[in-house]
Structure 1
């Protein structure tokens, strides 16, 4: 391995184990399942490479810079030992990655752990507060606050990476049907792939979790909106967006609305109804690729601009 001119030429390894009836060596491997599994894993690796470099499209130049090779495979379900070759690549510097050469493995592992913690909490109907560590720690910690709120402490930068990898991870889990394919395991070392405590494992419950999940943004954005219908008792309604600080929330569109419970104030609600007001909010993403805003969650309002229709 060499690193001329601050560029890395060398390799990183990932082993993948796909288990299930379709991958039983005694009965022969189902070719469609083998090809689909390897293609989905390849897509995940390429997507991770792009996300780490803050890009969205894999180009011909990228194909010259990163090459994924199947070095060997073993029986015991289907175990594929992959080698990711980098050719004169500037390695991304990510706050949650200890060894930059292993940024793909650490990004995948961290994203699965983070998304699983977040989606499980949301599935239980709890509100989720994401707090990013700035001390260089890489652990993810989950702490309950009361019966309805969960705080997830995550390494800096990981929530944004996980959000962008979620659609590709969702696509990967859709192959898991509980029979032909029962699980997909990842490891950064070939010798660890058969040890449950040392792998990232996706199974049928993750398919349901990732497939049905919506994603709530971690960032708080500013909008000006007019609440066109609402229910004070449930803190829910619809809002028409008049201006927005993010392109995800489209001006002129009407969205389902949820107002944080700690903002439950009848006098304020009356002022909000049918009047343009400035809000701080988060948003939920849904749809097949989690690319559509399905709900706006008002987390606060801007008192300094409350009567200014041109706010934001």
Structure 2
């Protein structure tokens, strides 16, 4: 009995070296959950690597080659980039047309969207129908049909000239005149203001009514309320719309392609950057040069977006909950 009392209790055998205890190993349920999760993510991974990353990296390689889609790419180094910057005046025409289009169309589109949102954000009878009606052009944005309609409206025998003739103004073929052709594209872009308008409506709904009441009690009129209350409180939404519309503005293609007949004319006035890239790559089969243009465009657009983000710290106002 004494020996039995002195015997130490039996210890559980330690797991082999390098192997975790059973309670630390994931069970079959966790493994099945992980497998199911990765299975559902598999289409996204396939799309990311097969449709996005691999084509991007391949186009980066092609930008350093001479590739005509028919023969094997021939390595030429920086020749495409040097040619683009120093020996292609039509390239700079497209840069200027795109810059002018974006600089004019984006502020105009946002101003129209904000103005309409201010008219429609209060709940009135039938206001929902008007909101839907003004949003319809954005649903049709980028469509060939709308571009054809716009081409007809601003043609020499179009409805715009007929309206001008009623007030004694002689019209012209707006889309074939180098001084007005780009303006028709700007008007088309501004007309499709529905998407930023809806975002502005959501932002206006979030502004506390007490701020306007306090401003009215202090003697602030409509303009002062808009300038000192609406704009500061709406600045994050305005910033969001500005970023989205700036990126979209520099990527304009369909309207310029249809209205100009795929040439960017007259006199390269509607030769937007993406249209010129398309013409070089698929019209002239200079895919290496077009790839170089695409990467230059990506870098410049990224830089412009970074500048917009950097400027946000100067004018975007994020209200704290205590300010409400």
* Fold-level similarity (TM above 0.5): no
Query: Scaled by the length of structure 1, what TM-score is found?
Result: 0.23
Larger radius of gyration: 2
Q: Tell which has more relative contact order, 1 or 2 (C-alpha 8 A, sep 6+).
A: 2
TM-score by length of 2: 0.22
Q: Which has the higher strand share?
A: 1
